[in-house]
A and B are shown apart, each in its own frame.
Chain A
Amino acid sequence: MDERSLIEGMARGDRAAFREFVEQYKKKVFFLALDMVGNAVDAEDISQEVFLKVFRSFATFRKDAKLGSWLYRVTYNASIDHLRRKQFVPEPVGDEVLESRSRDDNASLPHGGAADPAAAVESSQLQVRIARALDKVSPQEKAVFLLRHYDDLMLKDIAATLGLSIGSVKSYLFRAVRKLQKELGGSPLISGVEASHD
C-alpha cells in the first residue's frame, strides 16, 4: 500500500490501513524512542503511545505533509516528554561495566572457534564507548544526530520534522559531533587522525 492509499485509509478509520501503517513504521518509531530514552521497556511504551495518538488524532494530520516526518515528530515529542517526566539523568557507564562486558564476551566465545577474542573484546568496548559518548549529548542534539546519521534525513527534512530552522539543526548537529569526537578521542580511529595532524 503506498503512502497516499495509507493516508486515505487511515482518514476513513480503516483498521487494515492502520495496521499496515504500524507494520511499516514500528521499527523506525521504536528505535528512535530507544535511542532517545535508552530503555527497551520505555521505548515500547512510547511507541505504543505514539501509534495510539496517531490513531486518535489522525484528523489533525495535514494530508500534504509527509507521514514519516509527522511520525518522527510525534515520537521525538513523546520521548522528550518522557525524559522530562523522569527528569532523566543518564547513568554513566563505568569502567567496571566495560571490563565486565569484555569478560562476558570472552566467556561466550566458542572454544577453539574461528572467532577472534581480541577483536570481539575490542568491538564490545567500542560499543560501550559509543553508548557513553551518546549519553553526553543533549536530547535535542541527539535527536538531530540520530535522524541525520542513522535515519538519513536531510538537514531541511530534520528542520521540518522537529519544527526548527536549518541554522538550529546545523548548530545542534555540529555540537553533537564535536561532543562525540571529544568523548571518543581515545578511539584508535580518531586518535590516528588527530596524531597525523599534530
Chain B
Amino acid sequence: MISCRIAKDRMIEALYGELGPSDKERFDGHLRSCPDCASEYSVLGATLRVMDQRERPDPGPAFWDGFWDRLSRRKVWEEAGEAPRTSLGARLVRALSGLPRWSYQAAGAAALLFVGILIGSRLIAPPAPVPTAAVSAPSGAIVQAENFAERSKILLLGLVNYDAATEDAYAFDLGRKKTMSRELAAEAPAIRGALNERGQKRLRDLVSDLEVIMMQIANLGSGQDVEGVELIKQGVDRRGIFLKIDLDRMGRDARGETKKKKT
C-alpha cells in the first residue's frame, strides 16, 4: 500500500499512462482505499478530457504553401545585411501587438482630444501676429512623409476592401501590390531618418508602422495568399492605421503644415 504523498507524486504519470504495471497496480490499490485521492484523480482526468476538445486555429494551406518562400526571402534579406530593418519591423509588431486593448482606446481618445484642443485654440484664441515664415510651407521631409502615407493608404484601402470570396483575384493583382509595397518599404528608412525634429515623432512612428506593413505585404507568398492578406488586414485594423493617418493629417491641417494644394 502506498501513501497519499506517493500517490500524488505518481498521479501525473498515471493520468498520462506512464506508470509501469506494478506501480500502476499499487496506485490503483491506493485509489480504491482513498476517496480523496480517487476524487482528485478523476477531476484531473476530466480536466484533461476537456483540454482534448481544444481546437488550434490552422492558418490554412496558403500560409503553409508560402512558408518556405517567406523564410527564404528573410534569409536572403539577412544575408544581404538588411537584418536591422527587419528586426525593427519585428520589434514594432511585437511592441504594438503586446499593448492592451485599452491603451489603443486611450491613445485614440487622447489624440482626438489633442486635435480638438488644437482646432479649438485656433478658432477661439485671438489671432496673434504670426510672422509669415512661422507658418511657411512644410519641410521637405514632412511633404515626403505625407506623400508616403497617402500612397500607403491607397494601397492598403485596396487590400482591406478586397474580398476573396466575391471579387476577381486577377483584378486584385496582388503581385503589383507587392511590388509597390516593396518600393514603399525601401523609401521608408530615408523618410524616417529625415523626420528628426522635435514634434515629428508621431509622423515618424506612423511611417515606421507603415514600413512594417509594407514589408509584410512584400513578403506575402506566391499566388493569392489569402491567409497572409487576412493577417495583414487584422494587423492594419488592430493598429488603427487609417485612424492614425487621418489624425496625423487633421493635426497638420490644424497647424497649417500640409501641402498647399490650391494657391
Give chain A's interface residues, CB within 8 Å of chain B.
19, 22-23, 26-27, 30-31, 34-35, 39-42, 44-45, 47-48, 51-52, 55, 82, 85-89, 91, 123, 126-127, 130, 148-150, 154-155, 170, 173-174, 177-178, 180-181, 184, 187, 189-190, 192-194, 196-197
Which one, B69-77, B193-201, B241-249, is touching chain A?
A: B69-77
**Which residues of the partner chain A approach B78 to less than 8 Å between Cβ atoms?**
52
**Which residues of the partner chain A approach B2 to less than 8 Å between Cβ atoms?**
none
Closest to A192 in B: B46
Q: What's the least CB distance linking A149 to chain B, in Å?
A: 6
Q: Does B101 count as interface, using CB distance less than 8 angstroms?
A: yes
**Which residues of the partner chain B approach A87 to less than 8 Å between Cβ atoms?**
98
CB of B50 within 8 A of CB of A190, answer: yes
Contact of A189 (CB < 8 Å), options: B49, B64, B74: B49
Contact of A177 (CB < 8 Å), options: B13, B15, B53, B59: B15
- What is the CA–CA distance of A86 and B91 in the complex, to the nearest angstrom? 9
- What is the CA–CA distance of A150 and B9 in the complex, to the nearest angstrom? 22
**Which residues of the partner chain B approach A184 to less than 8 Å between Cβ atoms?**
47, 50
**Which residues of the partner chain A approach B59 to less than 8 Å between Cβ atoms?**
30, 40
- What is the CA–CA distance of A89 and B98 in the complex, to the nearest angstrom? 8
Q: Does B170 count as interface, using CB distance less than 8 angstroms?
A: no
Closest to B96 in A: A41
- What is the CA–CA distance of A196 and B42 in the complex, to the nearest angstrom? 10
- In the complex, 30 of the A-B residue pairs with CB atoms within 8 angstroms, ordered by the A residue number, are A22-B67, A22-B68, A26-B68, A40-B59, A41-B93, A42-B94, A44-B67, A47-B67, A52-B71, A52-B75, A52-B78, A82-B94, A123-B53, A126-B53, A127-B55, A130-B54, A148-B16, A150-B54, A155-B16, A170-B9, A170-B12, A174-B8, A174-B11, A177-B12, A187-B50, A192-B46, A193-B42, A193-B46, A194-B43, A197-B42
CB of B47 within 8 A of CB of A180, answer: yes
Contact of B51 (CB < 8 Å), options: A34, A52, A130: A130
CB of B67 within 8 A of CB of A26, answer: yes
Closest to B93 in A: A41
Q: Does B105 count as interface, using CB distance less than 8 angstroms?
A: no
CB of A48 within 8 A of CB of B74, answer: yes
Q: Does B235 count as interface, using CB distance less than 8 angstroms?
A: yes
Q: What's the least CB distance linking B23 to chain A, in Å?
A: 13
Contact of A174 (CB < 8 Å), options: B12, B50, B51, B70: B12
CB of B70 within 8 A of CB of A48, answer: yes
CB of B51 within 8 A of CB of A149, answer: yes
**Which residues of the partner chain B approach A148 to less than 8 Å between Cβ atoms?**
16
**Which residues of the partner chain A approach B231 to less than 8 Å between Cβ atoms?**
40-41
- What is the CA–CA distance of A155 and B9 in the complex, to the nearest angstrom? 13
Q: Does B163 count as interface, using CB distance less than 8 angstroms?
A: no
The 5 A-B residue pairs with the shortest CB-CB distance, nearest first, are: A197-B39, A181-B47, A193-B46, A86-B98, A190-B46
**Which residues of the partner chain A approach B8 to less than 8 Å between Cβ atoms?**
174
Contact of B94 (CB < 8 Å), options: A86, A89, A197: A86
Closest to B56 in A: A31
Closest to B9 in A: A170
Q: What's the least CB distance linking A42 to chain B, in Å?
A: 6
- Given A52-B75, A150-B54, A181-B46, 8 more A-B residue pairs with CB atoms under 8 Å apart are A35-B56, A41-B231, A45-B90, A130-B51, A155-B16, A170-B13, A174-B11, A189-B46
**Which residues of the partner chain A approach B44 to less than 8 Å between Cβ atoms?**
177-178, 181
- What is the CA–CA distance of A196 and B18 in the complex, to the nearest angstrom? 26
Q: What's the least CB distance linking B218 to chain A, in Å?
A: 15
**Which residues of the partner chain A approach B16 to less than 8 Å between Cβ atoms?**
148, 155
